[in-house]
Structure 1
């Protein structure tokens, strides 16, 4: 049963945050009857108990000067509730003279609840009254448990009609759209007329150029085509040019490298000279 209650409360909180713009931390406006109910049933701390039913979101508790004055007039039986109410934040009410608590709360919330208050009360008449005002979630207590009332049929119907109105175009939007359409059509007509005039002028200029005799052109020294000077190729910048490399012709016949062994053999092989002294000695002996 507790899980179902928490699920229902979370669903109601999502409804008010999505459709009416409630934001964290939630503000709860408490009247004297609700504060007295918290004291009698020993629901402490009150901000934590209210946060539990509002999907664990931090809350701020408010009251009004008129509610404090009403608790003070009730006497000693509500002295503890008065002391507890003094610890809450005080919402500013604009009326100069003190009113009843119901009238003061109705003035603060108004018809649109601009401050996005959650109303916490034990007054049945006040609960029924604010169920007919869109965007006012109501909290009440039952013994030692707190409950958030689900959105009423009036509030759901209000959200549905407002969404349908957003889908449709208003009269002001329709008039502005028609005005823009007329202005755009007038601009298109003006552009078309200017284009026709330009074509007509171009045609007249073409006719005049065709009918103009060639002698008139010669007399005025006019040229048919504009002559442009051709750019001649200039010499390259010498500083930006690289120096030419001398390419040597390769030898067609490869030269074999001479090894150290070959050089040594060639040095050793010398021509042998014959001495003729032995021949001369033989001639002498004979």
Structure 2
């Protein structure tokens, strides 16, 4: 149950921070009934109990009118008066003393500009603040403190403000139109400047080409006209010789025959050396 309650409280706090701009440390404005409830049920210290609910640091406030009302109630509320005097007193700009309900409603105003969490046990005051946008309410139930969920009116108001934020206002629309006009004027000026510069460049290129062509023609007349070289055939030294496939075998046979004949003729004609004869004669 505790986890579910904490999740619910976190959701409510997130709603008020996102839609109405509440920021840490959260300011809690207490009346006399809430201070008395804390003391009777011994929910102390109050700042830790409230910070556990809201999940952030807390500053507790009260008003001079609330303190005066507690003083007027007598000795039965003396302890709650002492506890209330220790709280920070919020500034209320009215000369005469008012009731606690009137004083708190005046401080909260129409849109709660100070971003107060209102802590009260008064059911009528809670109903009254449920019809105002951006006023979160805290109340006590026995030993527990609860954060009241946002009312249907507050949810509708938050939705309508979100839709208004998404749409453009008249001032923003006028600003956008002025911006469009200025951008169009600058674009037109840039285009005209670019066109002028391109025209100047074309004229310059035309004059340059005319002068170049005139010069080329003069140069062509002065220069000697050579004949074009025709494409030559391949280098015969770099080409491979053709192979005679048909006559190769016959040529080889003829060569072999000639070689054999020469060898035979060489073998038949044998020269005898004269030195042998001389040796035989000497030996004989």
Separation (CA, whole Å) in 1 of partners of 2:34 and 2:128? 16
Distance 1:88 1:194, change over 3 A: same
Find the aligned partners of 1:72 and 1:130 in 2 and give their Cα distance.
26
Unaligned runs of 5+ in 2: 212-284
CA change 1:146–1:205 in 2 (3 A) is: closer
Pick which of 22-31 and 94-103 moved more.
Answer: 94-103
Report which of the two structures shows the higher radius of gyration computed on alpha carbons: 2
After the TM superposition, which of the residue ranges 10-19 and 173-182 deviates more from structure 2? Answer: 10-19
Describe how 1:142-157 pairs up with structure 2 within 5 A: 142-157=141-156
The residue correspondences of 1:178-257 to structure 2 (distance < 5 A) are: 178-198=177-197
Deviations 1:114-172 (A, max 9, x none): 22211100111110111122221100112222111011111212222222222222221
Equivalent position SS for 2:71: helix
| Unpaired segments ≥5 residues, structure 1 | 213-286
Change (3 A) 1:205 1:103: same
Moved more, 166-175 or 121-130: 166-175
1:14 aligns with 2:27: no
TM-score, reference length from structure 1 = 0.66
Q: Which whole-Å CA distance do the structure 2 matches of 1:2 and 1:195 have between them?
A: 72
- What is the SS of the residue equivalent to 1:62? strand
The offset of 1:63, in angstroms, is 0.2
Higher mean Cα deviation, 92-101 or 76-85? 92-101
The change in CA–CA distance for 1:80 and 1:194 in structure 2 (over 3 A counts) is same
Higher mean C-alpha displacement, 199-208 vs 119-128 = 199-208
Structure number having the greater helix percentage: 2
TM-score by length of 2: 0.66
Alignment correspondent of 1:176: 175
Q: How many residues align?
A: 211
Give the 3 Å change call, closer, same or farther, for CA 191–52 of structure 1 in structure 2: closer
Structure 1 residue aligned with 2:164: 165
Let me know the Cα RMSD of the aligned residues: 2.5
